[in-house]
Amino acid sequence: MKTYLIAACMALMSMMSFAAKPVADTTAVSSARVTVNGMVCAFCAQGIEKRLSSMPATQTVWVDLKKRVVLVQAKAGKPLDQKAITEEIVEAGYDVVSFELVAQTVDALKATPQVTP
């Protein structure tokens, strides 16, 4: 009887330790929040959106002129290239103040209030 009880306890403990291990999230979203100086009008926003949307890894781009923020979401399984995104924005004539990678969709980021730096 003790053997069965010990075996049952060991099986339960191994199942609990298996359940406690974090599972890799293969659906993780990769986005970037870029603070940009120099954007003043809808034409500025449209130009940045067009340039960044044409990049192979980009799924979604959204520009908030008031907060001076550009949000870029990667296509599933594609990493965002910070250097390439920064270069596109600088070549368009704007200054990149900060670049932050985040694990949220652009829609989720748009819904989150941000403090302007």
User: Residues near 31 by Cβ (< 8 Å), separated by ≥ 6?
Assistant: 71, 72, 73, 74, 80, 101, 102, 103, 104, 105, 106, 109
Tokens of 84: 């390439």
pLDDT tens digits, 25-48: 434 669 999 999 999 999 999 999
> Is 112 or 8 the better-scoring residue by pLDDT?
112
pLDDT tens digits, 80-98: 999 999 999 999 999 999 9
What proportion of the chain, given as a percentage, has pLDDT over 90? 64
pTM: 0.72
Bridge-based pairing of strands 31-37 and 95-102 is antiparallel
Q: How far apart are CA 36 and CA 112, in angstroms?
A: 18
Backbone angles phi, psi at 67, to 5 degrees: -95, -5
User: Residues near 63 by Cβ (< 8 Å), separated by ≥ 6?
Assistant: 39, 44, 45, 48, 49, 69, 70, 71
CATH code reported for the domain at 31-111: 3.30.70.100
